[in-house]
């Protein structure tokens, strides 16, 4: 997902950083809802259904890989994070397709069809095969799963940089400029953010119930139906959409400018007289300035700004490495815990339902932090600058995994082990033979670990990690937006998604290297250490980072824009 400001809009930088003076639930907000262009309702419900589909599939995927496909916990974790990495690596592809070839509407429509196809393949892969040779059925399910997940990754990743921007276009080009337009835009993104989180929450509650009470095939089939419904809803609005044609992508220019700078600086560094500006505004030359011989000065300065953002976000993958494991490692941990909650009417909480805490807490924490905690701290002389918030977010993620490790130690301590004794006796055979009906005796043995600890003991680590998510994600994206050129907000969004993919890659590499050499508890402590490394890395980067255009940017109050909110659950 990207901001409502397209790469080619070139105006309204302030709209990305402002907060509506009145909250979305106010009477003015309700008035603004009635002012939405007719096309908005199609995009709104399309996004709700799509998010329900994606988060429903994602919630049950780790258990499907381990239980249905028989993968070990290590291999299931690797495959799960390979899928999520693909989902967040492909937005760049979607942005290029949208900006250069198809435009937003057709990109969303065509990639959504691929997305729905992947959902259908996943549902079919979960149907037990009639083949009596189990290994053949398993091989079919494995390849079908890989194909289905690939389609979904390309589909969901491809539409991410298009949907909210397409919604923003409806307001940008369907309404006259003025305060009403600004208010409606903000209300739209607040409603969009709400739809994303509510869709995610409901899917994380109901999809695991379908898995547990019916089958994986049905549990994957419902997201497929929701995705199909989202396509129908989106297609139904084709007659009222504002659809801007593709006008070219910045990404190719970005690469060309870098190549040109390297080539020209090497070739003509002895006599080229170009503007000499470094990232701190000093007198030494910047290596990209050589490209000003072939491209406009503003284009080169924009590329410099993007590179500064990339450098600033270097520690971000270490945060995503931890955050992403709530959907894999923590689900496997919950599987070892007792889901019966007697004081809530003896309900049973499924291991993959615990993830529903995340979107629920996000809806609570975003306004709580922005309107209560940060103002309270600033009132008492504690200025929470952007860099401090990012460091705090990284620290909290590390604390969450340390808490998870302590919980795992408690789980392991309460697991009782026993041994099966085998007896071998010899009886003499004598004549005459007599037949006796002895009945049937069955003895069942299981290696299922006794579940003595309540699953609710996972709540503290979810609360801590979600707090880290809100602090780190909102501040990081907001700060990056403030550094990016007006025309390149979507580029920053794609870079932000890419850091999440890199975090999944780190998880895959670490889990693949350590395998089963470490216990689950020690693995949690290891990743807590990764979070500490990320925090130290962030401190180092912040010491080297200074904004060229606004050196006092860290002194500014980093408020939470509704555009950033709507990006969080994507």
Residue after which a domain boundary falls, among 260, 295, 330: 295
> In this structure, are 231 and 254 located in the same domain?
no
How sure is the predictor about 90, in pLDDT bands with cuts at 50, 70 and 90?
A: confident
Asked, for residue 304, whether it belongs to a domain, the answer is no
Highest mean pLDDT among 18-27, 31-40, 191-200, 267-276: 191-200
> In this structure, are 269 and 359 located in the same domain?
no
Read off the pLDDT of residues 364-423 as tens digits, 9 standing for 90 and up: 888 888 788 888 888 887 777 778 888 889 999 999 999 999 999 988 887 655 445 555
Count of beta carbons in the 10 Å neighbourhood of residue 509: 13
Read off the pLDDT of residues 415-463 as tens digits, 9 standing for 90 and up: 655 445 555 555 555 555 555 555 554 444 444 445 678 888 999 999 9
Q: Using the predicted structure, report yes or no on whether residue 26 has a pLDDT greater than 50.
A: no
* pLDDT over 70, % of the chain: 69
Q: pLDDT value at position 20?
A: 35
The structure tokens listed for 294 are 């072939």
Read off the pLDDT of residues 253-292 as tens digits, 9 standing for 90 and up: 777 777 777 776 666 554 444 444 343 444 446 677 766 6
Q: Using the predicted structure, report yes or no on whether residue 477 has a pLDDT greater than 90.
A: no
Q: pLDDT value at position 10?
A: 36
> In this structure, are 196 and 260 located in the same domain?
no
Residues 52 and 200 sit within 8 Å (Cβ to Cβ): yes
Three-state DSSP state, 383: coil
Mean pLDDT in residue range 351-360? 87
Asked, for residue 435, whether it belongs to a domain, the answer is no
> In this structure, are 326 and 279 located in the same domain?
no
Rounded distance between C-alpha atoms, residue 2 and residue 18, angstroms:
16
> In this structure, are 169 and 276 located in the same domain?
no
Three-state DSSP state, 164: helix
DSSP string, 233-289: HHHHTTTT---PPP---HHHHHHHHHHHHHHHHHHHTTT-------TTS-SSPPGGG
> In this structure, are 206 and 281 located in the same domain?
no
> In this structure, are 320 and 455 located in the same domain?
yes
Rounded distance between C-alpha atoms, residue 410 and residue 413, angstroms:
5
Residues 158 and 94 sit within 8 Å (Cβ to Cβ): yes
> In this structure, are 376 and 269 located in the same domain?
no
> In this structure, are 167 and 39 located in the same domain?
yes
Looking at residue 132, what DSSP letter applies?
A: S
The structure tokens listed for 336 are 């070892």
The structure tokens listed for 568 are 């969080």
Q: What's phi and psi for 341, nearest 5 deg?
A: -120, 95
> In this structure, are 335 and 279 located in the same domain?
no
Q: pLDDT value at position 281?
A: 40
DSSP string, 303-358: HHHHHHHHHHTTTHHHHHHHHGGGGTHHHHHHHTSB-EEGGGTSEE--GGGGGGHH
Q: Using the predicted structure, report yes or no on whether residue 309 has a pLDDT greater than 70.
A: yes
pTM (two decimals): 0.74
Rounded distance between C-alpha atoms, residue 95 and residue 246, angstroms:
11
Range scoring the smallest mean pLDDT among 108-117, 170-179, 220-229: 170-179
Count of beta carbons in the 10 Å neighbourhood of residue 81: 28
Asked, for residue 408, whether it belongs to a domain, the answer is yes
Q: pLDDT value at position 529?
A: 92
Among candidate residues 326, 479, 309, 465, the one with its CA nearest the CA of residue 395: 465
Asked, for residue 422, whether it belongs to a domain, the answer is no
Asked, for residue 1, whether it belongs to a domain, the answer is no
Q: What's phi and psi for 454, nearest 5 deg?
A: -65, 145
Give residue 131's domain range: 14-248+309-415+450-568
Tokens 């409502």 correspond to 4
Looking up residue 189, the CATH number of its domain turns out to be 1.20.1250.20
Asked, for residue 63, whether it belongs to a domain, the answer is yes
For the chain, what is the domain count? 2
Q: pLDDT value at position 303?
A: 79
Q: pLDDT value at position 561?
A: 52
Asked, for residue 389, whether it belongs to a domain, the answer is yes
Q: Using the predicted structure, report yes or no on whether residue 484 has a pLDDT greater than 50.
A: yes
Count of beta carbons in the 10 Å neighbourhood of residue 498: 20
Looking at residue 25, what DSSP letter applies?
A: T
Tokens 């401190």 correspond to 539
Asked, for residue 167, whether it belongs to a domain, the answer is yes
Q: pLDDT value at position 35?
A: 66
Among candidate residues 221, 251, 205, 228, the one with its CA nearest the CA of residue 155: 228
The structure tokens listed for 444 are 């069942």
> In this structure, are 73 and 85 located in the same domain?
yes
> In this structure, are 559 and 494 located in the same domain?
yes
Q: pLDDT value at position 399?
A: 95
């Amino acid at each position: 997902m990207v901001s409502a400001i397209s790469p080619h809009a070139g105006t309204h930088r302030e709209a990305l950083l402002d907060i509506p003076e009145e909250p979305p639930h106010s009477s003015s907000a309700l008035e603004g809802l009635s002012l939405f262009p007719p096309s908005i309702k199609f995009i709104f419900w399309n996004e709700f259904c799509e998010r329900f589909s994606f988060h429903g599939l994602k919630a049950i995927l780790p258990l499907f890989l381990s239980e249905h496909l028989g993968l070990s916990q290590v291999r299931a974790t690797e495959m799960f994070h390979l899928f999520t990495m693909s989902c967040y690596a492909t937005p760049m592809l979607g942005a290029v397709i949208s900006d250069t070839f198809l435009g937003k509407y057709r990109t969303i429509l065509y990639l959504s069809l691929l997305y729905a196809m992947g959902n259908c393949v996943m549902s079919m892969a979960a149907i037990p095969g009639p083949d009596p040779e189990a290994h053949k059925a398993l091989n079919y399910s494995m390849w079908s799963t890989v194909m289905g997940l690939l389609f979904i990754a390309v589909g969901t990743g491809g539409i991410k940089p298009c949907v909210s921007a397409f919604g923003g276009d409806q307001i940008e080009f369907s309404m006259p400029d003025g305060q009403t337009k600004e208010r409606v835009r903000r209300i739209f993104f607040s409603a969009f953010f709400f739809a994303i989180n509510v869709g995610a929450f409901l899917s994380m509650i109901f999809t695991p119930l379908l898995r547990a009470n019916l089958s994986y095939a049905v549990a994957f089939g419902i997201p497929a139906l929701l995705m199909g419904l989202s396509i129908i809803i989106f297609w139904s609005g084709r007659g009222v959409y504002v659809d801007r044609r593709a006008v070219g992508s910045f990404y190719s220019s970005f690469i060309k400018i870098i190549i040109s700078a390297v080539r020209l600086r090497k070739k003509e560094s002895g006599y080229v007289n170009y503007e000499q500006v470094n990232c701190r505004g000093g007198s030494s030359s910047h290596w990209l300035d050589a490209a000003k011989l072939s491209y406009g000065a503003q284009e080169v300065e924009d590329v410099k700004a993007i590179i500064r953002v990339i450098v600033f976000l270097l520690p971000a993958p270490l945060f995503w490495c931890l955050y992403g494991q709530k959907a894999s490692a923590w689900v496997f941990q919950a599987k070892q815990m007792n889901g019966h909650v007697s004081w809530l009417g003896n309900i049973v909480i499924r291991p993959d339902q615990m993830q529903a805490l995340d979107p629920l807490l996000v809806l609570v924490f975003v306004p709580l932090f922005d309107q209560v905690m940060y103002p309270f701290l600033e009132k008492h002389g504690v200025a929470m600058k952007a860099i401090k918030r990012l460091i705090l977010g990284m620290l909290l993620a590390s604390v969450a995994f340390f808490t998870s490790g302590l919980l795992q130690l408690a789980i392991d301590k309460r697991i009782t082990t026993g041994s099966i004794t085998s007896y071998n006796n010899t009886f003499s055979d004598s004549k005459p033979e007599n037949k006796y009906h002895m009945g049937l005796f069955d003895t069942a043995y299981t290696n299922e670990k006794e579940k003595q600890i309540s699953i609710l003991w996972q709540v503290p680590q979810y609360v801590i990690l979600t707090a880290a998510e809100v602090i780190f994600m909102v501040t990081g994206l907001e700060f990056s937006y403030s550094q990016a050129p007006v025309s390149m907000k979507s580029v920053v969004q794609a870079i932000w998604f890419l850091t999440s993919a890199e975090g999944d890659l780190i998880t895959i590499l670490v889990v693949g290297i350590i395998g089963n050499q470490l216990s689950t508890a020690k693995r949690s402590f290891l990743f807590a250490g990764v979070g500490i490394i990320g925090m130290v890395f962030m401190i180092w980067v912040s010491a080297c980072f200074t904004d060229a255009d606004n050196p006092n940017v860290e002194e500014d109050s980093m408020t939470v824009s509704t555009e950033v909110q709507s990006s969080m659950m994507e």
